[in-house]
Structure 1
Amino acid sequence: MSRILEILAPAINLIPEVEKPIKKILPFRSRAMWTAIVILIYLVASQIPLFGVVSNAGADPFYWLRVILASNRGTIMELGISPTVTAGMVMQLLVGAQILNIDQNDPVQRSLYEGSQKLLGLIIAFFEAVAYVWSGMYGDIEKVGYGNALLIVLQLTFAGIIVILLDDLLSKGHGLGNSAISVFIAINICETIIWKSFSPITYPIPGFEKEQYEGAILNLFHSLFAIDNKFVALQNAFYRSHLPNLASLISTALIFIVVVYFQGFKVDIALKNDRVRGAIQSYPIKLFYTSNMPIILQSALISNLYFFSQILYRNFNGNFIVGLLGKWSIPEAGGSHMVPVGGLVYYLSPPHGMIEVISDPLHTILYVVFILTTCALFSKTWIQVSGSSVKDVAKQLKEQGMGLVGSRDSGLKSHLKRYIPIAATFGGLCIGALSVVADFIGVIGSGTGILLAVNIVYGYFEQFKREKEQGTLTF
């Protein structure tokens, strides 16, 4: 075990944690209840405004990150899952690079590893909170006051502790799924879809006398009653450009169905159990072998590039090098975020609708190549640092006493090598392609968000089905 974790042990022991349940598997009703409580706490926290904020106006510099970080601007959930996710990725990279040597079968080492991840998440939450306040996101530091600035930092840090504890609650087996992080992402995205479908807020639309509802479904009925020409009413409901429309809603449902269909693509490898004579079971290798990780890493990369480009453009918008990196503007129709209109970030951003896809082919080609390449590379790299490579899987199966049917131990590794690298690379490519298609056809939210939500929800469906087959779905 790494000496670093032993040194951190006293500090790790001070971090609160959730005890494991007494029973190995709790009744389904109990787990569903705790999951509902976790979701309720997250939704409430996402609506509680930060105390001490002077100004929250202007373009949101973290708009592009909020989908994958399940955060809500101006609330105590401002940081979202960012500290926890960042801490988890850093720890996995340290283990994958063998800087930290952890034996996951040793309960003491595993406990120290999990505790150090929580400690790192808490430290990241604190420094992110300080950076947010110092950058002027909540108003000029002199207007906010040092007392209120300290209160904002404490609120955000405390919210980080709450997220860590909620994640610990589900990962220890008290709730459904393995992590609250996935629940928060899915809830945030699903909430956006529902809001964009039924939002009662009205906005003025050019060419129409009356204001229109933001919600696509609500606007359909309103248009049919308020507009005499029913053809114009349907055209507006399906294709209006400044607000969510029915075409976007149908596209979202279509992508949902396609992703679920691709989830069924897998290769089953027949394995024998050396400890139980005649026992044979299958080991599935899915097309989406690395699940959501390629698109999450790619989104985090491009979102951070957007963020730094915006900051540079605001302060040095006349600089030639800064202009090459990216030029930004706020849409004429208004909005809480800036959009790229030139430079590198423009060509790495998704085209807005099929008209822009056709009218600017260079933008389209560069964007598609960038997404597909980065997703494939991230997916292939992730299996090396996350313990899911051919070598790691073969070692895990061997420790469990599993072997390839009709072959010796050496045959298992070579057999896995035929499928895992291809599934990782091609699966990442497919994830990127689906994200591109989703952005092109104009889904609600973003292609990345829809893919994340579908994969997470489908994972819960698989867990429900698996527990039902194993007879552990007790109420």
Structure 2
Amino acid sequence: MPTVLCHPPKLFPKILSVEYYKRMVSAVLAALKPFISLLPEIPTPKKAILFREKVFWTCVVLTLFLILSQVPLYGIQIAAGTDPLYWLRVMLASNRGTLMELGLGPAITSGLILQLLNGAGILTYDQNNKEERALFQGAQKLIGFLMTLFQACAYTLGGMYGPVATIGVPTAVLIIAQLTITGVIVNLLDEMLTKGYGMGSGSSLFIACNVCESIVWKSFSITTIDIGRGIEFEGAVIAFFHYLITRPNKLEALRIAMFRSNLPNMMNLIATVAIFAVVIYLQGFRVELRFNHRRARNMTVAYPIKLFYTSNVPVMLQSAVISNVFMFSQFLFKRFGSNVFVRLVGAWNETEQGQLYPSGGLIYFLSPPASMYAAVLSPLRTLVYIVFMIATCGLFSRLWIDFSGGSAREVSENLKREGLMLAGHRDDSMVRVLNRYIPVAAVAGGVIVGALTVAADLMGAIGSGTGILLASTTIYSFMEQFAKESL
């Protein structure tokens, strides 16, 4: 009997191909192109912006952001102090119950999606092609607007501001409209700075401002609170002097001021200052490679490769991913809390003040312990959190240099276009030399950023470890740019 060779069919030959997704994304972008052209846009400046004008517009943008962060949403009905996403506010530049409720979450998420598509080769574009670059930026803006609308609907329909049946459908629509319009305005403010009207990136500026505002408030707030120990000031510094003046036992007063629980204390403030100082110190670590001009061999240019090669990008991307996962887990737990699979993802409890905190599931191990004491009591959770933070920050940092055009090959091509050649080396060896430093700096910098974030969280630094890292790296980059352009 003849042998019949049966060849297994190729399962899903198309959907496993990158080319399939590449053609699909290209078709979607082509279909969206007419709509992208209708999006609001900040025009590119036609002439060089003077330094004092950049400072002025940066201050204007920052002022508008602060106003949006204080204007309350019209129509919300919610108990004071209830904030189920309180630990994400600082790092996403959002403020509970205001127009900046969503913060930078939609914008960061949209940028992450497109950069991942670009890095995977599914969405490719030529950065030197003006039309392709404009289409890519327009797609990112459109996705950001859609993410804003989606999150605004999720917040409102999920009962963040009270049941829809209580607040009414017209009010719910009005809340969604307020959040969506604010998201559009924030995107335009960020685009304004990015296109050269101001200094640096709007997203980084907003996060740094939010972190610094939180630190100042928790250090010098004169709000009084009574949680069972008598009248206390919220601000750590104000409370420190209040205890020393009013308490007869000065040693006991000093102990309470340094280590009091449930309110900011002096150890939190000292940890914050220490993390800031360490980050600023490490910013100075760099390797400088010497390049010569092709036409002027005697002219040497230094190209610095910093330890924090990707700056605060790793922790920003990690925060964007975690915030979306946490929000999705909370939404599922509120609706299907008894489902075993939902509880495996994350279980949540509520404090007396209405704050939700993770109590089980995967989310519990990915969230930072509330204090060093809590970290000691839960060693497995602490270990998983430390490994997760360090590994993800290092991974995101390494991937980002390929996604954003910071790899050794792309840097080499840019330097060649500027007419620079590596001193003492041939042109064909430039990529090899840069590969000795750039990937190492990216991974090492990401790992250190993750480790510093963990240290700040465990030490109880004000503003969370992620927020402090974002603020300190942003402030340092602004100082560098200020010093450079003021010369």
The size of the alignment, in residue pairs, is: 463
Distance 1:113 1:322, change over 3 A: closer
Contact map agreement 1:56 1:137 (CA 8 A) in 2: no
Letter in 2 for 1:185: I
Deviations 1:140-185 (A, max 9, x none): 22222222222112111111121122112211222122x2111110
Distance 1:127 1:49, change over 3 A: same
Aligned-partner Cα distance in 1 for 2:180–2:173: 11
Say yes or no: does 1:355 pair with 2:378.
no
Residue of 278, 289, 296 corresponding to 1:276 = 296
Contact map agreement 2:84 2:354 (CA 8 A) in 1: no
* Displacement of 1:194: 0.6
Contact map agreement 1:65 1:303 (CA 8 A) in 2: yes
Contact map agreement 2:109 2:321 (CA 8 A) in 1: no
Aligned-partner Cα distance in 2 for 1:121–1:327: 29
Say yes or no: does 1:342 pair with 2:360.
yes
Say yes or no: does 1:111 pair with 2:131.
no
* Displacement of 1:366: 2.0
Deviations 1:393-431 (A, max 9, x none): 222222222221111122101101111111111111111
- Stretch of structure 1 that moved more, 74-83 or 441-450: 74-83
Identity level (%): 49
Distance 1:4 1:409, change over 3 A: farther
Residue of 209, 214, 219 corresponding to 1:192 = 214
SS at match of 1:448: helix
Say yes or no: does 1:212 pair with 2:232.
yes
Aligned-partner Cα distance in 1 for 2:375–2:33: 54
| Correspondence for 2:14 | none
| Correspondence for 1:98 | 121
Aligned-partner Cα distance in 2 for 1:12–1:347: 41
SS at match of 1:67: coil
* Displacement of 1:57: 5.7
Following superposition, which runs of at least 4 residues in structure 1 exceed 6 angstroms of deviation?
Answer: none
Contact map agreement 1:186 1:456 (CA 8 A) in 2: yes
| Correspondence for 1:409 | 427
Residue of 146, 156, 167 corresponding to 1:133 = 156
* Displacement of 1:2: 5.4
Residue of 229, 233, 245 corresponding to 2:253 = 233
Contact map agreement 2:329 2:346 (CA 8 A) in 1: yes
TM-score where L is the length of structure 1: 0.91
- Stretch of structure 1 that moved more, 56-65 or 16-25: 56-65
Contact map agreement 1:93 1:386 (CA 8 A) in 2: no
* Structure 1 unmatched runs, 5+: none
Distance 1:400 1:97, change over 3 A: farther
Aligned-partner Cα distance in 2 for 1:281–1:407: 15
Say yes or no: does 1:15 pair with 2:39.
yes
SS at match of 2:331: helix
- Stretch of structure 1 that moved more, 404-413 or 315-324: 315-324
RMSD: 2.2
| Correspondence for 2:482 | 464
1:28-427 aligned at under 5 Å gives the runs 28-55=51-78, 59-177=82-200, 179-206=201-228, 208=229, 210-331=230-351, 334-427=352-445
Aligned-partner Cα distance in 2 for 1:355–1:50: 38
Contact map agreement 1:61 1:307 (CA 8 A) in 2: no
Say yes or no: does 1:447 pair with 2:465.
yes
Letter in 2 for 1:380: R
Letter in 1 for 2:37: N
Contact map agreement 1:64 1:303 (CA 8 A) in 2: no
Contact map agreement 2:90 2:214 (CA 8 A) in 1: no
Aligned-partner Cα distance in 1 for 2:109–2:343: 30
TM-score where L is the length of structure 2: 0.89
Distance 1:414 1:345, change over 3 A: same
Aligned-partner Cα distance in 1 for 2:144–2:366: 30
- Stretch of structure 1 that moved more, 116-125 or 248-257: 116-125
Deviations 1:206-244 (A, max 9, x none): 3x3x31011111111221222122222111111101100
Deviations 1:26-49 (A, max 9, x none): 1x3222221111111111111111
- Stretch of structure 1 that moved more, 406-415 or 321-330: 321-330
